[in-house]
Amino acid sequence: MSDQYTMEQEEIFSKVMRAGRRTYFFDVRSTKAGDFYLTVTESKKFTNDDGSYHYKKHKIYLYKEDFSEFKDTLDEMINYVIDEKGEEVISERHQKDYKPAQPIGEKETDEMPIAAEPASENDETDSSNFTDIEFDDI
């Protein structure tokens, strides 16, 4: 593949959307036959303990024959979320007074939950709650 083809492929049309630690890249690219397709890349910044950082990227390729169904499905999913939860963002990160929903039957309280006592080595553990996994099987 020539450098000119690669250069043309990446310069057709692009948009960038920043969203916190994530950045979304929307790029129109060209197939070898000269038709267009879309790539959507999510890039997320991660900071290491030493202060250095790296990015993880995830990319999807969307071809013209799938545009209509993809758009309809995306619109349906977005409308479902908005209809069910509204447009207001509900999360610890976005609201300082955020409190998770209480499970049905539990009273809301300002008291801190009491942590279970750690099991001592002499305690017998009910092994019926555990699944024995052999890592050789994975």
Asked whether residue 128 is domain-assigned, the answer is no
Q: What is the pLDDT of residue 138?
A: 43
Asked whether residue 137 is domain-assigned, the answer is no
Count of structural domains within the chain: 1
Residue 85 above 70 pLDDT? yes
Asked whether residue 92 is domain-assigned, the answer is no
Residues 12 and 36: beta-carbon distance below 8 Å? yes
Asked whether residue 37 is domain-assigned, the answer is yes
User: Which CATH number covers residue 61?
Assistant: 3.10.450.700
In the chain, the N- to C-terminal Cα span, in Å, equals 39
pLDDT tens-digit map of 46-82: 888 898 888 899 999 999 999 999 999 999 999 999 9
pTM over 0.85: no
pLDDT tens-digit map of 44-55: 988 888 988 888
Report H helices in 11-97: 64-85
At 13 the three-state DSSP class reads strand
Residue 132 above 80 pLDDT? no
Q: What is the C-alpha separation between 115 and 33, in angstroms, rounded?
A: 63
Q: Name residue 40's beta-bridge partners.
A: 26, 60
